[in-house]
Chain A
């Protein structure tokens, strides 16, 4: 019987000939990634020294720190946290990246997502590195283990294989595909397992689309998500990769916990209604619901395809009176590309607020809503209070829906305004 890509990657980093789902291993991450955030990095730095007497991490080049939350800073205390991060990185020889964008995206751009690599973070959205065949797992506070040991304790997860077939319709984007997966499989369908994506739709999908789907894996309960690296992934990673690894793929006779086939041809654009990411609904059932804010950005969206789709909708149109539309490209590289393509001008002319990359819109630190307000958002999450008041509401949807709704002042279907946007 063959092995899954997950088993192959974990066998290598556990220095074993082979591992199987269910085995408990100590595995050495190729990359240890974090953004600075109170209660996480500051605590890890302190505990490392005070509780474990460790002055320096082993092999600092494996580590990467990002400053992407609390950007730009709004209080002296926030700046103090960033200063501490910069100083810690400098003292350790650990790179600290800032003004480059949202770390989960920039990790891919900077070659921390080499096919076949194993990466850990505290934040589960790091799973999006799976788009490039990297096994990337969010450990929450257990990330401390990777700072005080070379290895982390892990139970090799079983894998749920999902094959996507068919053809995406106009105005149906990767976001819709992911939320459809939640809808048909359920929010606990991959609990403690890896979601391995494949099939002709994934083969045809861009790296960006795969990042979007893989990054949200936690909402089907998955430990992470991964796509077997194809030529597209290898081409993306080739000149960026920080370590040389042979890409690995699941064997044709690998053992899967479940294999699920989903036809995407019938998928319509969706909204995910409050109060939880488990609640995928048809967009068409919510047309006309008034909104006060639109947010296009986050590690889950805000990439070129999202921005291009929004620009198609917004070109020659204006954001409705009383609506704030925040458009936040996910990285500086994406922002520059958007500028080169003239998209920023389209957004500006439409009356959108265009911001440099930051995580802060996604969790309501800025662009904050008050009670009774409602947003359409490509952010990661729609739980109450995520973007401001606990009595405000978030409807998650794709970038084109955000743009069309911002123009209409209420939830709107972008399809009449689009031609040929998919994937």
Chain B
């Protein structure tokens, strides 16, 4: 399940239960983010032991995108047997500012910023 766009890409690898987001997410509102949220929630619905969301090459995320990731985290929260791992990078300063907020929605969320 992949989404390929000029400005961003989403790749879901079911075998490793990893969703990789790349590029810049500047989409306009809930409707435009729906396909991305769909990939994320489908990955959570598979209920893997560990679900990794790799954002290390996501350069930009607007507030609608933050909203989308929050929905995903709250959706994943119902699967208590799944450990959610979020990977970020210091290369993009927004990640260390904003990603830690998701731990407040899901205290067990494992955040790795490298």
Chains A and B bind each other: no
**Residue ranges of A at the interface with B (Cβ–Cβ < 8 Å):** none
